[in-house]
Chain A
Amino acid sequence: GNSVTQMEGPVTLSEEAFLTINCTYTATGYPSLFWYVQYPGEGLQLLLKATKADDKGSNKGFEATYRKETTSFHLEKGSVQVSDSAVYFCAGGSARQLTFGSGTQLTVLP
């Protein structure tokens, strides 16, 4: 079956620092890949996605590139803000069913 392995947290950064959260996947075929964000007390929101190899998803300064050769979809942001503090989930699959990583708690300090 499919599995998604995500860098464990928590991650604490200072404002304007560079962020990387690693995500790798195991699947039969080439699933679509997603990053979801969960702000405190809220549900999940789709942050970005990529549907095929070499696609780059981007949103709100976050980026992730679908790397087939390394089966990875690492999340990056060049300069984080306090408002980026949240839990980030990597996920793979299709709209029919997604497999989620365990989530990474990010705290950005002013």
Chain B
Amino acid sequence: GAVVSQHPSRVICKSGTSVKIECRSLDFQATTMFWYRQFPKQSLMLMATSNEGSKATYEQGVEKDKFLINHASLTLSTLTVTSAHPEDSSFYICSARDGARGELFFGEGSRLTVL
């Protein structure tokens, strides 16, 4: 079964509103989680690295004020898309690193549609 869960799997919102996406590690503690964005028929683009208890590290070109990341506990990271616009519509995927197993597990993804 899934070891990393994302919620919601699909969300539709109006332009200008904010949307929060949750990423949970279900059976392990994750000090580090990653957020990706996937454009249609393209690969995953790493947006940011989320570190428990500290600020996220954003990749070049990703607006940190636009994509707020909070990693408040060892099992939960959240991505908030603030003041969403249609160009923010995308598939967002998180992953969490299980240090004990040395593996990266991915969530099911969240499809955001901004009208």
Binding site for B on A (CB under 8 A): 36, 42-46, 89, 95-98, 100-103, 105
Q: Contacts A44-B106, A45-B106 given; indicate if A96 touches B32 (C-beta within 8 A).
A: yes
Q: Are A42 and B109 in contact (CB under 8 A)?
A: yes
Q: Inside 8 A of B49's CB, which chain A residues have their CB?
A: 97
Binding site for A on B (CB under 8 A): 6, 32, 34, 41-44, 46, 49, 93, 95, 97-98, 102-109
> How far, in angstroms, from A102 to B103 measured CA to CA in the complex?
21
> How far, in angstroms, from A73 to B106 measured CA to CA in the complex?
21
Sample 25 A-B pairs with CB under 8 A, ordered by A number.
A36-B106, A43-B6, A43-B93, A43-B106, A43-B108, A43-B109, A44-B44, A44-B95, A44-B109, A46-B104, A89-B43, A89-B44, A95-B97, A95-B102, A95-B104, A97-B34, A97-B46, A97-B49, A100-B43, A100-B44, A102-B42, A102-B43, A103-B41, A103-B43, A105-B41
Q: Inside 8 A of B105's CB, which chain A residues have their CB?
A: 46
B8 → chain A closest CB, angstroms: 13
B6 → chain A closest CB, angstroms: 7
Q: Sorted from nearest, which 5 A-B pairs have the closest CB atoms?
A: A43-B109, A43-B108, A44-B106, A100-B43, A95-B104
> How far, in angstroms, from A36 to B98 measured CA to CA in the complex?
17
Known A42-B108, A43-B93; 6 more pairs at CB < 8 Å: A43-B107, A44-B106, A46-B106, A95-B102, A95-B104, A103-B42
